[in-house]
Amino acid sequence: MQKMNKTILGYVPEESPLYRIHPFVRLLFLMVVSLFPMFISSPEWNFGIILLVLAILVYSRVNLKTLRVYIPLSISMGVLILLTHTVLGGRHPEFFVAFRIFDFPFYYERIVAAVDVYARILPMIFVMVLFLSTSRERDILVAFRWARIPFVVTYLGAMALRSVGMVIEDFSIVRQAEKARGFDPQGKSIRYKMRQFVMYIIPLFALALRRSDEFANAIVARGYSFTGLKGVDRADYILHQYEFRTRDAVLSGIIFLSLIAVLVARYGFGYLSLDDSLTVQLLESLLKGGAQ
């Protein structure tokens, strides 16, 4: 059982071959590959991305059990997409009726559209999950700094992450404090539960406000005034801990090239389209076959 460490955003493996890859490359992978589904219309190719991500997850020694939380999300999203496209999609006499449920028509075109959308969104989620499951907060910050994003932005990002962590801790204590005063949300109405929301927000805000004062003092006392001290070049010490090797350059190159390949295949040769895809052919034979 691979040991996983908790981060603010999820769980990451204690050790992983992926850590040897520079964080910037991993960020690049996230940003580029999550764009692929925008250009790839063919559902089986998009599902292929999911398989690729799963393979990388296993290779990275991510304990797949920690990803169980994403299953309900994926399923409910699929159901939601299907419903909005079909049941809530209204009646369209120009479409082909694949079948009826309680006399409500389910159109073939709509089903295809739903599959299309789902097949694009799911890989994006998976790529994001891959990133979150293999990056500690530090990696994310290093990736940004390496990409020459201004220090202020990354520092604010770091502070935001830090604050989120503290808010999460505060939140659990606030919840306990409310319970200790007899607040029992079980079996109560929606309105009651919405009141709950207010109850949490106010103390969290108050705590954050008081804390921000102290944060500001702590930063100022060490010489930072958000425009930096006059004419000071930051050494960016942390970056020195991470070496951008040839391997990383090669990987970055591969990622870019694959993007270009996708674009060329799609717009140059017309591959990866929806109508020619195997999935659509399958759906056609299932839902349309024999009709007409």
Partner 1 sequence: MTTAVRFENYSWRYSRTKEQALKEINLEIEEGLLVGVIGPNGSGKTTLAYSMNGLIPNQYNGIRKGSVKIYDEEVTEMDQAQLCQQVGLVFSDPEAQFTAMTVEDEVVFGMENMGLTYQEIEERLDWVVPLTDIEELMEKPPYEVSGGQKQRVALASVLSMRPPVLMLDEPTSMLDPIGRRRIFDVLGRLKREYQSTIIIVEHSLENLIPLADLMVLVYEGEVLLVDETEPFFQKLDYLMEHHIYPPGVLEFFHHLKKSGDYPEASALPESVGEGEKQLRRLLENKA
Partner 2 sequence: MNEKQPFLTVRDLSYRYEDGTLALENVNLTLDDGDFVALIGQNGSGKTTLSKCLNGLFKPTEGTVMVDELDTRKTSITKMAVRVGYIFQNPDHQLFNGSVWEEIAYGPKNIELPEEETRERVEEAARVVGLDPETFEKPPFFLPKGIRQRVAIASILALRPRIIIVDEPTTGQDRRQALEIMNFLVRLHEERDHIIVFITHDMPIVSQYAKRIVLMGEGHVLADGPTAEVFAQPDKLEETFVEPPQITQLAQAVEDLGFDPGTLLVEEMVERYRELKG
Measured CA distances, 237 to 37, 68, 80, 162, 219 (Å): 37, 37, 47, 19, 18
Q: How many C-beta atoms lie closer than 10 Å to residue 17's C-beta?
A: 11
Question: Hey, which residues between 231 and 260 contact partner 1 (CB under 8 A)?
Answer: 231-238, 240-241
> Which pairing describes strands 104-107 and 10-13: parallel, antiparallel, or unpaired?
unpaired
Q: How far is the CB of 210 from partner 2 (least distance, A)?
A: 7
What is the rounded distance in angstroms from the CA atom of residue 180 to the CA atom of residue 187?
18
Question: With binding defined as CB under 8 A, does residue 228 bind partner 1?
Answer: yes
Choices 26-34, 182-190, 218-226, 272-280; region in contact with partner 1 by CB under 8 A: 218-226
* Gyration radius (Cα) of the chain, Å: 25
- What residues make contact with partner 2 under the rule CB under 8 A? 6, 170, 173-174, 176-184, 186, 198-200, 202-203, 206-207, 210
Which of partner 2, partner 1, none does residue 229 bind (CB under 5 to 8 Å by kind)? Answer: partner 1
Choices 101-109, 110-118, 219-227, 271-279; region in contact with partner 1 by CB under 8 A: 219-227
Closest CA to 235 of 151, 133, 157, 129: 151
**Residues 9, 132 contacting (CB under 8 angstroms):** yes
Which of partner 1, partner 2, none does residue 193 bind (CB under 5 to 8 Å by kind)? Answer: none
Burial letters for 107-138: b for 16+ Cβ neighbours within 10 Å, e otherwise?
bbebbbbbbbbbbbbbbbbbbebbbbbbbebe
| Residue (184 or 214) nearer to partner 2, CB | 184
| Residue (191 or 222) nearer to partner 1, CB | 222
| Residue (217 or 285) nearer to partner 1, CB | 217
The residues that bridge with 5 in the sheet, in sequence order, are 12
Choices 52-60, 109-117, 221-229, 270-278; region in contact with partner 1 by CB under 8 A: 221-229
| Residue (48 or 203) nearer to partner 2, CB | 203
Residues making contact with partner 1 (CB under 8 A):
6-8, 136-138, 141, 158-159, 161-162, 165-166, 169, 211, 214-225, 228-238, 240-241
